[in-house]
Chains A and B, each alone.
Chain A
Amino acid sequence: MIEFTINGQATSLDADPNMPILWVVREKLGMTGTKFGCGIAACGACTVHLDGEPVRSCSTPLSAAEGRAITTIEGVSGEDGELSAVQQAWISEQVPQCGYCQSGQIMSATALLRDNPAPSDDDIDAAMSGNICRCGTYKRIRQAIKVAAGLETAQSEDEAQESAA
């Protein structure tokens, strides 16, 4: 029996301690926001937080979560369902295309901004280069991080319309 909290919820599970957190979260707990991309910690699609630190859940065994707190994309919004600043910026900058990697991108960006509220471009490169986006939305991810940090102004829908007039 392994005990941990997930998105604030105390949980105990009779599961193989060697099983990667990714598959526990997806297949045992039914939370599918965390994605499988490569299985070797090379793409970042499976990024979750373990006690606040971003980890690649495809390569982190459940045993590593014993007594600790896992946060997934489902736990990023406020308790009232209000989207986090990062999520809101992801919408205002219209970041996702297919969206499959974006849970992991948001988890990496969230950890970056918690530790570094005003990241430079180099800081963003360092924190985000472990996350692949095959659709190629890096430009927008960078911009959204700056918007979430308050370094840039969010693009409103009206502004987007104006720019297209």
Chain B
Amino acid sequence: MSEQDTGTAAAKKERSTAAKWSRRGFIGAGVLAGGALLIGVGVRPGNPVGKLKATVAGGAGEELVNSWVKIGADNIVTAIIPHCEMGQGAHSVLAQMLADELDADWAKVEVMQAPADGSYIVSDTARMFVAPFTMNAADWIEPTWDGLFTQIGRLADAMITGGSSSIRTTGQYQMRIAGAAARKMLIGAAADEWGVPASEITTRDSTLIHSGSGKSAPYSDFAAAAAEQPMDSSPALKDPKDYRLMGKSKRRTDIPAKVMGKADFGIDANIPGVELADLSYAAVRRPPVPGTEVTSMDAEAAKGMPGVQQILNMGSFIAVVADGYWNAQQALNTITAEYSASESPIKTTADQFAAFRDAIDSAGDDGGEQAASKGDAASAFADAATKLEAEYSAPFLAHAPMEPVNCTAWVRDTDDGAKCDIWTSTQVPLMARSAAAGALGMDDEDITVHHPFLGGAFGRRLENDYVTMAVRVAKATGYPIKMIWSREEDTQKALYRPADVSRFKGGLDAGGKLIAYNNIFTQRHDPAEASVPGIYDIANTSVRVAEAPLHLPFSAWRSVDHSQQGFFIESFIDEAAIAAGADPLEYRLNMLGANTARHKGVLEKVAEMSNWSAPRGEGIGLGVAIVESFGTVGAEVIEVDMTSGGPKMLNVWAAMDAGYVMNPDGFRNQIEGGIVFGLTAAMYGEIELEDGAVKQSNFHDYQMLRMDETPAIEVAIINSGTVPIGGAGEPGTPPAAPALANAIFAASGKRLREMPFAKQFA
């Protein structure tokens, strides 16, 4: 199925739901109107922009038409993007969506990062995170949900980028409506001025046209007047057949700066008014074991080191402030310290895995929390013709974004009281502000967060531990500091994708069908459905979660629970297929349950792409896995060569159904990257514990997949038209590890039940 073939189906499906989107309120407008929200209430002239106007559109000749778009005197349309740009392309694609509805000239569209301001909360993203079941609410309740989540979003500082959600939430429910509403306001202004009906005015390439009178004008001519027009909270949105930018592989707007070395990341922060030579840098060291404190330090040697300005024992960490990062780090390296004793009984990796197994053993046959239940899985297992038992495990993982954790902060007294400015790479700028406010005892309003590009994040930058540290140092010094973590600190003192153990007892009937599925593990965080094999029709299912201590702090890591569960579930399904003597891909197709047309589609597509049925040479094998995550269904086939002992990955084929893809080339880039991320974890990813501390420290022992090991990757997109549409950033990752493990089994007969794989062939 090509994208061409499915376009019509997508068009039909989208058309049928277009009305639903347009019922949604213009959220920003509601918020700016003072919280009296709500939906369907036209916003009065003057209200939509408020005090934001000066900060966002302060330039000469600039007019803010609504909170997401401004139009300059030069007819440049600027899309104001509430999400951060961490490589996922959201800035560009959200601008594409807004510009398409606005009928803007793409060559004259620019992108602006929205400031860290409560007006730019992404309430629909928050809603997708915490209450995805409300995303397709009934008409009568929709205004209530919308209003509730706008208020909650404001309270929760929900300016957040994560969950593969920017395009499918903010894009669909905010940027498109903003673009369409702005277009309608421009038309209204032109109609008033020209004395013609609004219905006779058309738009194209940032131009208003009245063909009857021959009048036309650039948007900029009516930008000021448009701002006085009533804002429509439910403008009509385009049919897919009318898309001019959506669904097209427009080039990303952030890439030119990134190939010239001109893109600013958090670590590149310059402080206005502070000379380069006067900026100070902080190197920091936290205690090696989580939850412990610095009890004493010996900094005698560091005092005499070049460039050192201050040495701080902050209790929870040590900081050296110097005239440059290198000097600061060199001095820090000479400091010795004593730390408080850890209360955690877990000292080693073996201790942690023993804790998982103890918890699972203690839960017995029916203990723990039931995550999913259907039929009688225990009896079905007892009666099964063929019984399978398997235990899988996955280790802790660090995020390891290429830009090490850093934060620049300046806390100072002014005539207007204490103020703080922060420059940092963050997925949650308003939460960063709250964290800083808490650490400083200041009000949110006195803190300004500047958030440039992120040099990777993968969930790490949803946390604010580093922001708190930087502002505490900056408060102590009273002058601006740029805190940079060493890669060692970044690897060893972070928050982690949790390790886990997962046990299965499966039963096949005489025909080889999986009729009993008993599973228990200990780590369930998010999304809740990740551990449920819901795509398959299994008559008797029991999924349980036992409670176990976790030595290292948790944080979301690209695809979150799917990163382990994808491996556990899809490896076990493969074992069932093998036990049944079936072809693993065929077996999956036959097992699909209700509402799985998309799953069938991606499996059939990936079979075709990989030429699945064609025989491979001795020692070469194919493995398949399918995982639905973040609204996208993805199937991957990996071809691996085991003839030289260890796995050599040759090819990856991926078929992804996200419903409708807004930028196909950008989507493919995300899936390719998600696959490499998953394969890196599969081959090498492992954070181990020694004496309660993380053993790995840098890329020499926390290895990444590199160019020479990366297989060829081919990604196919299926636009099935499902609404709401699916995400791009995470869904490529979960199928990669199980597809590789399954391929290794096919090629060598060796079943891998532990991640990572490479060391098992050393």
Query: Is any CB of A less than 8 Å from a CB of B in the complex?
Result: yes
Q: Does B528 contact A (CB under 8 A)?
A: no
The B286-323 residues at the A interface (CB cut-off 8 A) are: 306
Q: Are A16 and B306 in contact (CB under 8 A)?
A: yes
Q: Are A136 and B675 in contact (CB under 8 A)?
A: yes
Residues of B within 8 A of A69 (CB): none
- Cα A70 to Cα B268 in complex, Å, equals 20
Q: Are A138 and B676 in contact (CB under 8 A)?
A: yes
Q: Are B403 and A164 in contact (CB under 8 A)?
A: no
Q: Whose C-beta in chain B lies nearest to the C-beta of A144?
A: B259
Q: Which of A20, A42, A134, A157 contacts B249 (CB 8 A)?
A: A157
Q: Are B252 and A94 in contact (CB under 8 A)?
A: yes
Q: Are A164 and B402 in contact (CB under 8 A)?
A: no
Binary flags per residue of B67-111, CB closer than 8 Å to A gives 1, else 0 = 000000000000000000011110000000000000000000000
What's the nearest-Cβ distance from chain A to residue B262, in Å?
7
Q: Whose C-beta in chain A lies nearest to the C-beta of B399?
A: A134
Q: Does B664 contact A (CB under 8 A)?
A: yes
- Cα A103 to Cα B265 in complex, Å, equals 13
Residues of A within 8 A of B487 (CB): 37-40, 43
Q: Are A102 and B259 in contact (CB under 8 A)?
A: yes
Categorize the interface residue count of chain A: 35 or more
Q: Does B325 contact A (CB under 8 A)?
A: yes
Q: Are B87 and A99 in contact (CB under 8 A)?
A: yes
Q: Which of A39, A132, A139 contacts B704 (CB 8 A)?
A: A132
Binary flags per residue of A14-32, CB closer than 8 Å to B gives 1, else 0 = 0010011001000110111
Q: Does B674 contact A (CB under 8 A)?
A: yes
- Among A135, A140, A163, chain B packs the most CB atoms within 10 A around the CB of A135
Q: Contacts A43-B402, A73-B260, A77-B260 given: A99-B706 contact, CB under 8 Å?
A: no
Q: Does A4 contact B (CB under 8 A)?
A: no
Q: Are A129 and B404 in contact (CB under 8 A)?
A: no
Q: Whose C-beta in chain A lies nearest to the C-beta of B699?
A: A42
- Cα A9 to Cα B69 in complex, Å, equals 42
Q: Are A74 and B261 in contact (CB under 8 A)?
A: yes
- Cα A73 to Cα B259 in complex, Å, equals 8
Q: Does B142 contact A (CB under 8 A)?
A: no
Residues of A within 8 A of B255 (CB): 90-91, 94-96, 99
Q: Are B265 and A136 in contact (CB under 8 A)?
A: no
- Cα A157 to Cα B665 in complex, Å, equals 10
- Cα A87 to Cα B259 in complex, Å, equals 6
- Cα A74 to Cα B277 in complex, Å, equals 20
Q: Does A35 contact B (CB under 8 A)?
A: yes
What's the nearest-Cβ distance from chain B to residue A29, in Å?
8
The B470-495 residues at the A interface (CB cut-off 8 A) are: 484, 486-488
- Cα A87 to Cα B329 in complex, Å, equals 33
What's the nearest-Cβ distance from chain A to residue B4, in Å?
6
Pick from B451-459, B584-592, B628-636 the stretch touching chain A.
Answer: B451-459
Q: Does B529 contact A (CB under 8 A)?
A: no
- Among A43, A124, A138, chain B packs the most CB atoms within 10 A around the CB of A138
Q: Contacts A39-B487, A40-B487, A137-B673 given: A99-B254 contact, CB under 8 Å?
A: yes
Residues of A within 8 A of B327 (CB): 16, 19
Q: Does A117 contact B (CB under 8 A)?
A: no
Residues of B within 8 A of A91 (CB): 251, 255-256, 259
Residues of B within 8 A of A94 (CB): 251-252, 255, 665-666, 669
Q: Are A139 and B699 in contact (CB under 8 A)?
A: no
- Cα A94 to Cα B453 in complex, Å, equals 17
- Cα A115 to Cα B383 in complex, Å, equals 68
Q: Are B698 and A87 in contact (CB under 8 A)?
A: no
- Cα A43 to Cα B704 in complex, Å, equals 9
Q: Whose C-beta in chain A lies nearest to the C-beta of B680?
A: A136
The B387-411 residues at the A interface (CB cut-off 8 A) are: 400-404
Residues of B within 8 A of A140 (CB): 669, 672
- Cα A141 to Cα B672 in complex, Å, equals 12
Q: Which of A132, A134, A136, A164 contacts B672 (CB 8 A)?
A: A136
Q: Does A160 contact B (CB under 8 A)?
A: yes
Q: Contacts A19-B326, A30-B276, A73-B261 given: A97-B706 contact, CB under 8 Å?
A: no
Q: Does B713 contact A (CB under 8 A)?
A: yes
Q: Contacts A125-B708, A164-B248 given: A37-B324 contact, CB under 8 Å?
A: no
Q: Are B486 and A39 in contact (CB under 8 A)?
A: yes
- Among B248, B262, B700, chain A packs the most CB atoms within 10 A around the CB of B248
Q: Are A97 and B260 in contact (CB under 8 A)?
A: no
- Cα A97 to Cα B699 in complex, Å, equals 20
Q: Whose C-beta in chain A lies nearest to the C-beta of B7?
A: A165
Q: Which of B261, B661, B673, B676 contacts A33 (CB 8 A)?
A: B261
- Cα A31 to Cα B264 in complex, Å, equals 11
Q: Are B251 and A97 in contact (CB under 8 A)?
A: no
The 3 A-B pairs at the shortest CB distance, nearest first, are namely A33-B261, A136-B676, A100-B455
**Which residues in A have some Cβ–Cβ distance to B below 8 Å?**
16, 19-20, 23, 27-28, 30-40, 42-43, 45, 72-74, 76-77, 83, 87, 90-91, 94-103, 106, 124-126, 128-142, 157, 160-161, 163-165
**Which residues in B have some Cβ–Cβ distance to A below 8 Å?**
3-4, 7, 86-89, 247-252, 254-265, 267-268, 270, 276-277, 279, 281, 306, 324-327, 329, 400-404, 453-458, 484, 486-488, 661, 663-666, 669-670, 672-677, 680, 698-700, 704-708, 710, 712-713
Could you list 5 examples of A-B contacts with CB < 8 Å? Answer: A32-B264, A39-B329, A96-B254, A161-B248, A164-B664
Q: A101-B455, A136-B710, A163-B665 are in contact. List 15 more A-B contacts (CB 8 A).
A: A32-B264, A33-B262, A35-B403, A40-B700, A43-B704, A76-B261, A91-B255, A95-B259, A96-B259, A97-B89, A99-B257, A100-B403, A124-B707, A138-B705, A140-B672
